[in-house]
Structure 1
Amino acid sequence: MDFIESIPPLVINIVKAAYVLAMLMIVFLVMLENRSPLKAIPWMLVLLFVPVLGVVFYIFFGQNLRKEKIIRRKGLKNHDLVSKIAHAQSHKLADGVMDDLPSLETHKKLIQLFLNNSSSILTIGNQVDVLNNGEETFNAILTALRQAQHSIHLQYYIFDEDEIGNQILDILKEKAIEGVEVRMIVDDVGSWELKRSFFSQMKTYGIEVYSFLTVRFPSLTSKVNYRNHRKIVVVDGETGFLGGLNVADRYIKGNPAYGTWRDMHLRITGDAVNALQSVFFVDWYFVSQQDIADPKYFPHKKPAGDKLVQIVTSGPDSDWPGIMMGYYQAIATAQKYVYITTPYFMPGESVLMALKASAMSGVDVRIIIPEKSDAYFTALCTKSYIKEMLAAGVKFYFYQPGFLHSKMMVVDDEVCTIGTTNMDFRSFEQNFEVNAFIYDRDKAQEVRRYFCNDLHQSVLIDAEEWRKRPRWQKAKESFARLFSPLL
């Protein structure tokens, strides 16, 4: 105290003025990014009312790096080839050259959108299997890994060294000893519990493993907010997996705090696997600086089925929030119904308005969310949207058996999507995500049946009962919603 009192008032005033000037400059920089006011205002409030912590949070979580392209895809062999194919397909689609493909006219605009916003090529001749829970998913993955002949590529947000994780690791070691090439990417934040010994052990077996966007103060702190949320497995360039499941026992055994951990995944064979392989290799280049384009990883494939599939990605490496735009287009053009399962619901104004408009125009819009959540503040924010959605005619349901982690949408028995993307700001605009969009009536009906099974284990939220909840609960939810663009 004596030390502070000994500081001349002029010095204190200069420090105060410098601090205020610094804060105003940071707020000004936020404004210059030309973000949506919905995203800029919360950060400005944080910076102004929690100044010291606000600056720290902004450095770690607030900077908009989409324009910086923290992964620059242009110039990579795989990406440039895919872009050329997508560009050619876009022209063929516009000129009617591809009109002989089954049911193409129904999905033409959505397919065109993905060709243009994310160079997501349309693949045909695919077999798609929906894996409806953790047991089905990991049994299928383990089987495929055991059958690998020359290459295994894995990418996960969370990889736990638990029972299922060690089963996978044991197979990877065995295959590496046999001479199979094994490459692995884990997100540095999602898999932060992995010890250094894990990486050194993998390398002793000849397994190449990297952390994605390693967070080390201060060099990459601005990128801690941009996480690789993708879950990809590609075996021999022939079989691919993607969906909502990370590698963790809870997807099979559940969790004592939440009960069943419900999720969905896909197994794909056919040309779409080449697209999934390209996604992996773009991320692999970023972590390893190896630009891999050897044709042996993209084997020529005979038709494995008759499903039309686009593997769609989005993230800070793209010009557009591609998956979000696809959700908007599919919802806005729905004629009969839109059914969605998502663990978190903070979709942003565009998708929110599309859902309301569809429901108010007579489309049957139903959304299942978990009643129990693994993220308290996010759950509060999710609940803040329910009242207005119910008022627009959207039917909301609470899933009862446990935690619902599925990321799925099906529209009009015509198109369905399963992948890694939650319906929130983070997935739509910040994380690296990947979804499969499937244009097939039979597959859409199958996914709808899975949705209806979950619906039977869920409770419809009654608008009147929801309105009667305590004011303090509503106040907490409204406060949490102020920060929804930051969650």
Structure 2
Amino acid sequence: MGFDLIPGYWLFLLDWLIRLAALAWIPVRSPPAAARSWLLLVGFVPLFGLPLYLVLGHPWLARVRRQRQAHASQLIRDRQAGLGALRWSPGQSDTEDITRLIERLGDFMPMQGNSVELLDDYDASLASLIADIDAAREEVHLLYYLMFDDRSGRAVADALVRAAARGVRCRVLLDAVGAKPGLRAFRRPLTAAGVEVHAMLAGGLAWRSLSRMDLRNHRKLALIDRTWGYVGSQNLADATFVREHPNRELVARVRGPVVRQIAALFASDWFIETGERLTLDAFVDTLAGNTPAQLLPGGPAYPFENARNVVVALIQRARQRVVLTTPYFVPDDVTLGALRVAALSGVEVQLILSLSNNQRLTRWAQRSYYDELLQAGVHIALHRPHFLHAKHLSVDGRIALIGSINLDIRSFALNAEAGLVCFDPAVTARLHAVQDGYLADAQRVTLEDWRRRPRWHRSVEGIARLADSLI
């Protein structure tokens, strides 16, 4: 009888050893908010929670990837030293600290002489990209998170084949998980046509030697002949890949010196994935407009959470109005606090989210923040007819950020992201027109109405919020 109890004692001992080990180890390796979520999971189900933490709990990258990112960053800084004539100086403007922060975090300096076109129509944006590929004479570089085997994916693949047939050097980087359908359908025919195709952050068994398995390259960038650049939220897929709610996106089509930065970011990712160094020496900088702009890259290969730090700094910079658009809103404590303080300080804080959402757990988690934000005076609007997948913000009619950055912990800490920061009232005014269009067809959320929701909703929201660091 006594021997029958021995396995139970060992299981009981193992159960508590895991809990104690997690208590000593997890807080050292994870931020406090993430540590709380993981400790709660390990505390409830130790035998399941600890293995899951070992796989997903820490945003680690292989040493070679971090070394290559550091090398690329240093090279970018060294090359910029000879481009002083292109540097934009805000002078006495109160944006100088923002430009300095972005440069210290993401390496790229503010550059003058750019033109920025905002593309809000999904099909027109894709048609513009394909037209630029068809007009290319030297080089086409594409870096995207999603590429599907659908009409849009095939149209881009066909344009690449036509470009390669003209002798254009085409290189494509696609996220190994997000773009799996596109890689499966187009990799062989593109390679056969002379297009160089590589998967980023390859999944499967390869992840063990490369990175934490759920780290993703979420950037959406295009570079055509080192003349035109695209930065935004739109992928290489049909707008209807979310059923019944076609995607609504925003893309910045840019020309001017800042295109050099898009080229450098692509070259950095290419180097990190392949080890091959692309030359940027043949770049010819053309002053194409009056917009000062600066590229903001972020991701786990950088020492800090670049996107989060800049978003928080921009919110803190606002004195009149800040408008934030994102499909996924699961902020960390710092971002949440910045929004509350801005609203309580008298700044008009407008948050535009999508009423429809293709991630159920995220939808429940983000709803858990509405009450405290509404109570602080933040305005929340839920866009109705589309899946609003665009990601951008505007500050005081002077600064605009457009790119792939969601206002969630995943974008801040786990994904490689890219955004274009424009210091131009004209660009910001055009962005305001887009944002006003969202608001014209949105459901406004009020504190009184929100507090009438069923009590069981609150319980589900609270449970989902506990998983904020796991989403």
Distance in 2, matches of 1:56 and 1:25, equals 12
Q: Which residue of 1 aligns with 2:253?
A: 267
Q: CA deviation at 1:329?
A: 1.1
Aligned-pair distance for 1:185?
0.9
Cα 1:230–1:70, aligned 2, differ >3 Å: closer, same or farther? Answer: same
Give the CA deviation at 1:59.
3.2
Give the TM-score normalised by structure 1. Answer: 0.90
Residues 175, 376 of structure 1: alpha-carbon distance in 2 compared, 3 angstrom cutoff: same
Letter in 1 for 2:277: D
Give 3-state SS (helix, strand or coil) of 1:155's partner. strand
**Identical-residue share of aligned pairs (%):** 26
Residue by residue, what CA displacement relative to the aligned partner does 1:400-442 show, whole Å, maximum 9, x if unpaired? 1121111010111100010000000000111100000000011
Match of 2:216 in 1: 227
Deviates more, 1:196-205 or 1:224-233: 196-205
Q: Is the 8 A contact 1:158 1:190 kept in 2?
A: yes
**Which among 289, 311, 317 is matched to residue 305 of structure 1?**
289
CA apart distance, 1:16: 5.0
* Alignment RMSD: 2.5
Deviation at 1:202, TM superposition (A): 2.0
Contact 1:60 1:221 in 2 (8 A): no
Q: Deviations over 1:15-56 (max 9, x none)?
A: 6534643554344321221x3321101111112212333234
**Uncovered stretches (5+) of structure 2, i.e. residues with no partner:** none
TM-score (ref. length: structure 2): 0.93
Instruction: Give the stretch that moved more between structures: 181-190 or 61-70.
Output: 61-70
Aligned AA (1:432): A
Output aligned runs, 1:5-20, within 5 Å.
9-10=5-6, 13-14=9-10, 17-18=13-14, 20=16
- Shift of residue 473, structure 1, vs aligned partner: 0.7
What does 1:151-162 align with in structure 2 at a 5 Å threshold?
Answer: 151-162=139-150
Instruction: Give the letter for the 1:428 counterpart.
Output: F
One-letter amino acid of the counterpart of residue 477, structure 1: E
Q: CA deviation at 1:161?
A: 1.4
CA distance in 2, matches of 1:402, 1:104: 41
Query: Given the alignment, which residue of 247, 253, 259 partners 2:236?
Result: 247
1:274-333 residue CA offsets vs partner (Å, 9 max, x unmatched): 10111111110121110112423xx22221111100001111111111121111111112
| Aligned counterparts of 1:65 and 1:102: Cα–Cα separation in 2 | 37
| 1:375 CA drift (Å) | 0.6
Structure 1 segment 432-471 matched on structure 2, within 5 A: 432-471=416-455
Asked if the contact 1:126–1:305 (Cα under 8 Å) also holds between the matched residues in 2, the reply is yes
SS in structure 2 opposite 1:283? helix
Aligned residues: 470
The letter for the 1-side match of 2:55 is F
Q: Deviations over 1:237-286 (max 9, x none)?
A: 11110100111112xx57443x2311101101111111011111111012
- The equivalent residue for 1:65 is 60
State the SS of the aligned residue for 1:304. Answer: coil
Aligned equivalents of 1:294, 1:88: Cα separation in 2: 13
Query: CA 1:42/1:87 → structure 2, altered by over 3 Å: closer, same or farther?
Result: farther
1:59-91 CA-partner distances (Å, limit 9, x unpaired): 332123279684434564x532322366799xx
Residue ranges of structure 1 left out of the alignment (5+ in a row): none
Is 1:79 the counterpart of 2:73? The answer is: yes
Correspondence for 2:358 = 374
Give the partner amino acid of 2:28: L
The aligned amino acid for 1:249 is D
8 Å Cα contact 1:60-1:222 kept in structure 2: no
> What is the CA deviation profile of residues 124-176 of structure 1, one whole-angstrom value per residue up to 9, with x for unaligned ones?
11110001121221111011100111111111111001001101101111111
SS, match of residue 310 in structure 2: helix
Structure 1 position 322 matched with structure 2 position 270: no
8 Å CA contact 1:82–1:121 kept in 2: the answer is no
CA contact (8 A) 2:368 2:461 kept: yes
State the secondary structure of the residue aligned to 2:217.
coil
- Give the counterpart letter for 1:318 in structure 2: Y
Q: Higher mean Cα deviation, 6-15 or 410-419?
A: 6-15
Say whether 1:200 aligns with 2:188. Answer: yes
How far apart in 2 are the matches of 1:361 and 1:268?
35
Match of 2:467 in 1: 483
| Equivalent position amino acid for 1:80 in 2 | Q
Give a deviation string over 1:426-470, Cα, whole Å, max 9, x none: 001111000000000111111011101111111211110101111
Letter matched to residue 150 of structure 1: E
Q: How does 1:81-160 map to 2 (within 5 A)?
A: 81-84=75-78, 101=89, 105-160=93-148
Q: Give yes or no for contact 1:255–1:261 (8 Å, CA) kept in 2.
A: yes
